[in-house]
Each structure stands twice: as structure tokens, then as C-alpha cells.
Structure 1
């Protein structure tokens, strides 16, 4: 059963259409990540669900109760929806305990709900502290606990980890996900971080230009992107021209089997992920290349290869693999490729985040991914 149902939601700001008919179903007890580049409408969607914005068209319902529609627009405080903003927004003059108890009745505060929530987010015994005595990660944990305390129908997380360093961000999102599951909460996570969406969400909604262009599990979005734009936006992608015939694509990396294409044959663009490309001994290899760059990240590395026909591709290799620049190697592809007939190509998305946010930039397609 869907906890949240969004149907044909439109939101305009003067001549600008921020949401152009958004449809979304969020199953009860699940966490859905809304992912997209800056300006795509993901935060506007969250604000419309929360009741901070009045929609110009469409309907929003939670548990069958209409929150927004042609004749209805409930105020935010009557929606039963909790919001965790980017900075936590704790009341600085209240203790942690008082922050958590702010939205609870006196009876609920007496039942030990506050202590239960502190235990849930890993902060038992912190109730007496003031917000300024907490680290950034601890403040966000308290913000999540405060949102969950009144048992909301839906919790909205607006890039709640973006201000934290990479290591703390990974730890906190893992703990927050466990906390949501522990109480069976239904949530929407708005993020620009592809790695974050892939690692914590049950479903991912990819937004572009005010609409949802793909909605599915992290596995399907990554391995079966709806179009080349989604392929390039979600993770690192190697996109190559090809000619497809009888289920096989003739590419610069050899003739490769095709899984999924919008036509049976003809000129196409194919998708590989860098982890599909393996370096093998040059002797006897059908395709050879020269290593042009080696970007080491510890657990793995990205190796830039120039093929004999001067096309560049990127391979992801284990961090233990030796790959000296200038070395000639053989190249082999594992698995199938996904293909789109020429003409299906969408413009590449703008970078979703800037340098220094804990992610790395692919030297070929200029995309960013979690380090």
C-alpha cells in the first residue's frame, strides 16, 4: 500500500514551471530518494508535500487523506508530515530533551518517548546537553529523533547530510536508515549525491526539468537507466557509438551482447559501467589500449585508457591492481551493454556537486560519484 501518492502535481513561480506534472507513489515503510541536478524541482516537490508551498495543479494524499488538491490545501501543521532540514534547525535555547519533546503532548513526554528516541539514534544520556555542545553529526541525529518522536505519517529529509564530511556522512546516513527501519517510518530523502541515493534508498526517483524521468530500485536505475542522460547522471558511465545488429553491438571495445534496446538494429549509443571493463595481458587480447591516467582511491582506482582508434574509456579496477601510465594492456568487457538508437541521446547533466564534497570526478564524462 502506498503511504504517499502524488498525482500530476504542478508548481509554478511566475513564468517558471518548477514541477510539470509529477507522479510518485511511496510505499508504506519505505525510503524513496529523489535525485536530480540543481534546479530540477526536487526540493520544490518536498516543500509541496510538506505544505510549505501551495500546488497549482494535481493532488497529494497521505494514507488516503488528501493534503492538497483542487479544493483542498491543508496547512503544514495539520498534515502529519515531519521535515528534517539540511542544518537540523534545533532550537538553540532548548536542551536536547526539550527539543525532542517540543512536538509531544505532556502525556507522551511522561511515557519515556524522548529517552526512547535518543536510544534509537545512538545518543542515550545526551538529553541534558544544549545544541551548541553537540557535533554536527549529533545535531542531525537529534533532528531526526525529533522528527520521528510524534510518529508522523511521513518524514521528509532535505539533504540532511550535505554539511558533513564524507566519513561522517556515510556513517550517519547508515544509522539514520536503521532508525527509520526500526520504527517502520516512511520517508523521502532529497539528495544530489548519487552514492547516497544508491546506498540507502529502497526506490529512487530521478528528476529532470520538473518531472520524474525514472522511478525504480537502485539496481534497476543503475543497470537499466531510462536513457543516456540518466545513465550519465547516476554513477560513472562509458558511452560509446555502436552499430547494433541481431542483438550484438559493434563498438570500439569489440562486439558486445546487448541487453535492452529501443530498436532491433542500426546506429546506436551503448552504455558500459567502468567496472565492466577489465585489464588483461596484451598478448592475445582482441582489443588493446594504452594507460593514460591512473586515479587511486584506496579500495579501487579509475584507469583512463586510450584505445588504438584514439577513443578514451575509463575502467574501474581493484586498488591492488598495478597500472603504470604509458603501459600497453589488453581490454576485455564483462556482461551486456545497454543500447539506445542514435537520436535518443539527451544532453549531459550538469555536475550535481562541487569539488571537495567527498566525491570524485570521472576524467572522461566529468561526472561525480561517492569516494
Structure 2
């Protein structure tokens, strides 16, 4: 019995946990059903999940395939090793990560959050990491996810000094990434220790200062690397489907409201609980971020589940003239730093085989996103 008490994975068949879970689970869905109608709720849930699968998951899979191919040839021809040597002296003191992780930042900035997973699957990349550093890649990559799309979209808005605001937003997201990664590193050090290296297969017997390459001519190595990297991207794309469909469906239904004709059972409808909570907290959030309009709070809340959807909100609000350049800075930093992390974090941590740290990753990144927004607001105020 003493051993059972020490094993936290073993619990009684029926304990208070069962009743607490049932109360929360039934309470949530009974409330949603009472607002939307039971049939509409189930239909919306199914159609939203299908929409996420077709328009988000397969898009992310395509991104992962491209990123996987590029990552593989970078690994094969020594780019990762070069970057690690050049940037390690910067990345180590700032993030406590190897220099090679900077490639993950670039991959995600050019595409989306899961792009870092294809790098993390490559032994020539993994060999630079200690176990406690690997889970933090999720927080690092997500901090810059969809960066290029976000920044260029914000710069194109019909708002005075929009370009300046977007550039300040990049600085804010950097601050947010440091906060998120550093908090995560503190958690992982306690869990994994600081000595063990990440396990690798192909580079296990390779001496320090050398790297493992494929057999054959330069052309054959290039073709093999890019195709195998793309295959890793497919695997990663499949791995994130459960997390995106399950988690993002819930986030969407808690974030969005009814359609123009009310609840009809269409995809992407919901009960708008998260914006309501955000509105109640707007007096604090507006003070921290300096928003011009209280309704701007909808943008960071939407960015929790989808950066693309939040960009749509910004475009609509800028057309009505309720967005300032300071708002653009804050929106850019938060949309980049959060970039829909609630819909990808769980899947990414699972793909990295570090799902035991998922809760910590989400908590640290939540704090990092707020830090990014506050930093962007303060930097913009200082620059005038």
C-alpha cells in the first residue's frame, strides 16, 4: 500500500476526482447546449473540427513538409553546425539554448509554430541539446510563429505609423520569448536535471566536431535529404491533428459568438465566454497595453486559438478607425508570441515526446505573451 501511495499514476476506481471532473464537464456542455441548443452545439462541434482538419491541419502539414525538407538539407550540408558555432554565444546567455535553436526561430517566423518540430527530429540538431532544453523549443518556436505574415499584415493596415508599430511589436515578441523560454527552462531543469543530453540514434558514435551525413554523391545526398525531411514533416503534421482538432474546437466555441442569424449549427460558432471574461478584465488589460478602444481586447484573446483569426479582427477594426499605432505594436507582439498556442502547444509537446511538461509550457507561454504586449506598449511609449 505504501508503494501505491508513492505512485501518482495509480488512483482509486472512484474518488472525488471523478465527481469534480463530471461536474466541470457536464456543467460546461450543459451551459453551451442551453445557449446554442443541443443539436446545434453537436453539429457546430463536428463541423468546426472538420474545418480545422481541412483548413488548418493540412495547411500546417504542408508547412511542416516544406520546413522538414529545408531543415534536412541544412543539417546534411552543415548549416546547422555553422549556425550553432556562430550564434551559441548569443543564444546561451539570452535563452540558455544552443545556437542551433536560432534556426527554429527562423523556421517558425517564416511559417508557423510546428515548423520547429521537423528540426527537433533531426539528430544533427538534437545532439546539441540537453534534455531540459528540448521542451523549451515549443515556447521558443511558438513565440515567432506566423511572424512574417503577422508583421507584413500589420504594416499594410491603414493606420498612421503602422510600420513603426509592427517593428516595435517584433521587439515585444522577442521580450515575450525570453520570458516564456526562461520560465520554462526553470521548470525543466528541476524535472530533468542539467546533465543528461538528448538521445540520438544516428550520431551516437560520432566524435565531437564532426557530423553524420548520408552516403552517395552530393546530388544524391541532396535529393535523399529533402525527401526524407519532407516525410518527417508528414509525420509531424499527422501528430498535431488530435491536438488542433480537439483543443482548438473548444477554444473556438468558447471565443466566437453566434452567426448573423443566431445559432444555426454552422462551423466556428460559439458562446463567446472568453471575450466576456476579457471585457470584465479590460480595465486592467487596457492599462497594461494602452489600447485605444476597449473592444481591442478581442484580438489577444482570439490569438490564443488562432493568429490568423486575430489578424482578421485587426483588419476589420482598423477599417473603422479604432486602432492606433500603439495598438498595432501590442497586437503584433501578442499575435506573434501567442500565435494560437492553445491549439498547437499540446500537440507540439506530444510530438517532442515531452508531454509531461505541457501544463508548464502553456503557463509559461501565457505569461510570456502578456510580457510581450506590455513590453511593446512600453517600448512604443519610450520611442514616442
Q: What band does the TM-score fall into relative to the shorter chain?
A: under 0.3
What TM-score does the superposition give when structure 1 sets the normalisation length?
Answer: 0.22
Say which structure is richer in strand.
1
By relative contact order (CA 8 Å, sep 6+), the higher-ranking structure is 2
TM-score, reference length from structure 2: 0.21
Higher share in helix: 2
- Bigger-Rg structure (1/2): 1
